[in-house]
């Protein structure tokens, strides 16, 4: 496959090319990694940006229902929407919580929508990095909105927040008065908390839960990237498609304020910088793991360290020296 043609196809909005490009950036094969790097370089020249919206929530809270309703609303307005996922379970077991095909049936058939399940990789960090590349591909393909879904388990949420402009936390109405054990750290990275299932019998519970979270959000330290009165908590019903316009309006307001106040560009720059550091770090670690000579030296030195005939720091220094010398 000619990489220049692939890049041109993606930028021209060709679906098949888009799917192929994402398959390429998700691949771990060494030759594919080289091609992927070339492709991503060519795609960067498009200069296109999408609004990246991260969405997290525990299984059953209504993520797929929300994405389907919200995505249908956006495509109904003529916007092009891509849906990607970072699924930590695909890293652990090769199976997937987020990937089953019956989800988002309507949206998957909507013109202007593109849905891609989570890449399956052996490590969560790998899943997240490949999704980040897929976001870049979707931006170059001219999508207006890229939704990145993840399951609410600590680290994957932080990773998704790191690649999003807006991070939404989806919660279910609480039974009692507990704040559902949502970790403070997750609340601190949320740009908006949405209490889903605010319909039927659950409506008043949803409103109470929403008020609780609105109160909790007010107690958090104010972040520079938020205008007065943000982050907010809202109730929605993904099933009955209620409150979704309000969510979109609020996102629009936040984005506008952040753009006007320099936060949008600053955050994107910071994200790109930390992504770069991450890639370099991972690359260096991969060299340690993949180089058979270094591996042999590690085994040998580890044995000496274990016997107590060599100091740990001296042994480590020998390996680092090899890396500095290039192998």
Q: Is 59 in the site for ligand GDP (CB under 6 A)?
A: yes
Q: Which is nearer to ligand GDP, 75 or 196 (CB)?
A: 196
Pairing of strands 81-86, 145-151: parallel
* Of positions 64, 121, 136, 162, contacts ligand GDP by CB under 6 A: 64
* Of positions 52, 63, 116, 258, contacts ligand GDP by CB under 6 A: 63
Q: Which is nearer to ligand GDP, 205 or 319 (CB)?
A: 205
* Of positions 62, 88, 119, 231, contacts ligand GDP by CB under 6 A: 62
Q: Which is nearer to ligand GDP, 3 or 202 (CB)?
A: 202
DSSP output for 5-59 = HHHHHHHTT-HHHHHHHHHHHH---HHHHHHHHHHHHHHHTT----EEEEEEE-T
Query: Diameter of the chain by CA atoms?
Result: 71
Q: Which is nearer to ligand GDP, 9 or 88 (CB)?
A: 88
Q: Minimum distance between the CB of residue 96 and ligand GDP, rounded to whole angstroms? A: 12
* Of positions 16, 31, 47, 60, contacts ligand GDP by CB under 6 A: 60
Are 149 and 85 in contact by the 8 Å Cβ rule? The answer is yes
Would you state the structure tokens that stand for residue 292, as one six-digit string? 């058979």
* Of positions 35, 87, 157, 199, contacts ligand GDP by CB under 6 A: 199
Are 3 and 42 in contact by the 8 Å Cβ rule? The answer is yes
Count of residues in contact with ligand GDP, rule CB under 6 A = 16
Are 237 and 61 in contact by the 8 Å Cβ rule? The answer is no
**How many CA atoms does the CB half-sphere of 122 hold within 13 Å?**
1
Q: Is 239 in the site for ligand GDP (CB under 6 A)?
A: yes
* Of positions 80, 116, 132, 197, contacts ligand GDP by CB under 6 A: 197
* Of positions 11, 43, 50, 61, contacts ligand GDP by CB under 6 A: 61
* Of positions 150, 164, 235, 237, contacts ligand GDP by CB under 6 A: 237
- Shortest CA distance to 154 belongs to which of 120, 179, 188, 129? 188
Q: Minimum distance between the CB of residue 15 and ligand GDP, rounded to whole angstroms? A: 24
Q: Is 150 in the site for ligand GDP (CB under 6 A)?
A: no
What is the rounded distance in angstroms from the CA atom of residue 230 to the CA atom of residue 219?
A: 11
State the sign of the Cα–Cα–Cα–Cα dihedral 150, 151, 155, 157: positive
Would you state the structure tokens that stand for residue 231, as one six-digit string? 């982050």
Q: Minimum distance between the CB of residue 116 and ligand GDP, rounded to whole angstroms? A: 16
Q: What is the chain's alpha carbon radius of gyration, rounded to the nearest angstrom?
A: 22
Q: Is 238 in the site for ligand GDP (CB under 6 A)?
A: yes
Residue nearest to ligand GDP (CB): 62
What is the rounded distance in angstroms from the CA atom of residue 170 to the CA atom of residue 186?
A: 11
Binding site for ligand GDP (CB under 6 A): 57, 59-65, 196-197, 199-200, 202, 237-239
């Amino acid at each position: 496959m000619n990489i220049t043609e692939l890049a041109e196809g993606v930028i021209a909005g060709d679906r098949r090319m888009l799917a192929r490009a994402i398959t390429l950036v998700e691949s771990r094969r060494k030759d594919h990694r080289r091609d992927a790097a070339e492709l991503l370089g060519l795609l960067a020249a498009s200069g296109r940006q999408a609004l990246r919206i991260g969405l997290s929530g525990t299984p059953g809270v209504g993520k797929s229902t929300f994405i389907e309703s919200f995505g249908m609303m956006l495509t109904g307005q003529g916007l092009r929407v891509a849906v990607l996922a970072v699924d930590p379970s695909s890293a652990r077991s090769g199976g997937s919580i987020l990937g089953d095909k019956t989800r988002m049936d309507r949206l998957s058939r909507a013109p202007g929508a593109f849905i891609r399940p989570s890449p399956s990789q052996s490590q969560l960090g790998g899943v997240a990095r490949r999704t980040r590349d897929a976001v870049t591909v979707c931006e170059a393909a001219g999508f207006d909105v890229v939704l990145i879904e993840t399951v609410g388990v600590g680290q994957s949420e932080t990773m998704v927040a790191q690649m999003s402009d807006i991070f939404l936390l989806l919660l279910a109405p609480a039974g009692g008065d507990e704040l559902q054990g949502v970790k403070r750290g997750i609340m601190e990275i949320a740009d908006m908390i949405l209490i889903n299932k605010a319909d039927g019998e659950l409506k008043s519970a949803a409103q109470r839960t929403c008020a609780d979270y609105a109160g909790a959000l007010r107690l958090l330290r104010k972040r520079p990237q938020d205008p007065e009165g943000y982050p907010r908590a809202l109730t929605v019903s993904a099933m009955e498609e209620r409150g979704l316009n309000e969510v979109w309006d609020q996102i629009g307001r936040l984005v506008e304020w952040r753009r006007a106040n320099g936060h949008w560009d600053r955050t994107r720059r910071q994200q790109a910088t930390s992504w770069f550091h991450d890639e370099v770090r991972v690359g260096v670690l991969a060299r340690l793991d993949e180089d058979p000579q270094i591996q042999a030296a590690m085994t040998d030195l580890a044995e000496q360290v274990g016997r107590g005939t060599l100091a740990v720091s001296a042994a480590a220094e020998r390996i680092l020296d090899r890396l500095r010398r290039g192998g």
